[in-house]
Amino acid sequence: MKAILYIGHGTRSRKGADEARTFIQRIMARIDVQIQEMGFLELAEPLIEDGFRHCVERGATEITVVPLFLLAAGHIKEDIPNALAGLHEKYPHVKVNVKDPFGVQGNILDGLADLVNEEAGTLTAKDSILLVGRGSSDPDILADFANIVDGIRNRLGLNRVSVCYLAAAEPRFDEGLETVCNEAVGRVIVVPYLLFSGLLLTEVVQKVRKKEKEGYSIIHTGQLSRHHVIEDVIIKRAIENE
């Protein structure tokens, strides 16, 4: 019997974890597969091992693993495969099919542009976009963000689009935020390239509010899962080739 296991990153933020669970439950309701479970890589329950075990206990002999990750950093390349390798040894009779992360998709960039337009309204050439990534030392991630910046610039018709990172890559968020605010001639729209709420998004929100109190015209779009396109991408991943 086939099953789907959705894997999220996990967060220490209760709000973020609850948001991810609610989001996954909405996905489950839209897919006609009897066995569907979720698991987190770390910091929240259930863990991957628990979700996998629940699938098996419910009769799964084939599990499609759907990582809820925007880009293919270390978690996708190392952590999740390592966790699944141990489970394969424990349940050798279960066939496992792991789907790719979302990657740089045109429809996701369309959704990102929608979020900017919803929050900012009519844009002008004076406005600036600051894209905020989680960050990674993986050069593939930096190349992906360069493509994302180009995609957003083309969709919104703005030249002032830059990127910064919350960890593990330069420029860091504080530097990127300071630079874009100092150089701004119009509004600053901060776009967190993060799937769910959590401690990282809280950091972004707090620093945006600080800049607002300092007199800058600045807003942020919030997490990407607010847009329906993310649900559609996951569903396509989960059921393709079925």
pLDDT at 15: 87
Q: Are strands 218-220 and 188-192 parallel, antiparallel or unpaired?
A: parallel
Asked if residue 232 lies in contact with residue 240, where contact means CB atoms within 8 angstroms, the answer is no
Question: What is the C-alpha separation between 57 and 51, in angstroms, rounded?
Answer: 10
pLDDT at 26: 93
> Residue written as tokens 């807003």?
219
pLDDT in tens, 40-66: 988 789 999 999 999 999 999 999 999
Q: Please, which residues have CB within 8 angstroms of residue 9's CB and are 6 or more apart in sequence? A: 40, 41, 42, 43, 68, 69, 75, 195
pLDDT at 116: 94
pLDDT at 23: 92
Question: What is the C-alpha separation between 196 and 11, in angstroms, rounded?
Answer: 9
pLDDT, block means (10 residues), the chain with 242 residues: 92 86 93 95 89 96 93 71 88 92 89 92 94 88 92 94 93 96 95 90 95 95 89 87 57
Q: Which helix (H) or strand (E) holds 219?
A: strand 218-220
Nearest residue to 220 (alpha-carbon basis) of 129, 151, 114? 129
pLDDT at 74: 54
Question: What is the C-alpha separation between 115 and 175, in angstroms, rounded?
Answer: 24
> Residue written as tokens 């960039």?
109
- Token duo for residue 29: 């309701």
Polymer length of the chain: 242
Nearest residue to 56 (alpha-carbon basis) of 70, 39, 81, 71? 39
Question: What is the C-alpha separation between 130 and 148, in angstroms, rounded?
Answer: 12
pLDDT at 43: 79
Beta strand extents in 68-199 (DSSP E only): 95-98, 128-133, 161-165, 188-192
SS3 74: helix
User: Is this structure's pTM higher than 0.85?
Assistant: yes
Question: What is the C-alpha separation between 64 and 97, in angstroms, rounded?
Answer: 5
Question: What is the C-alpha separation between 51 and 128, in angstroms, rounded?
Answer: 42
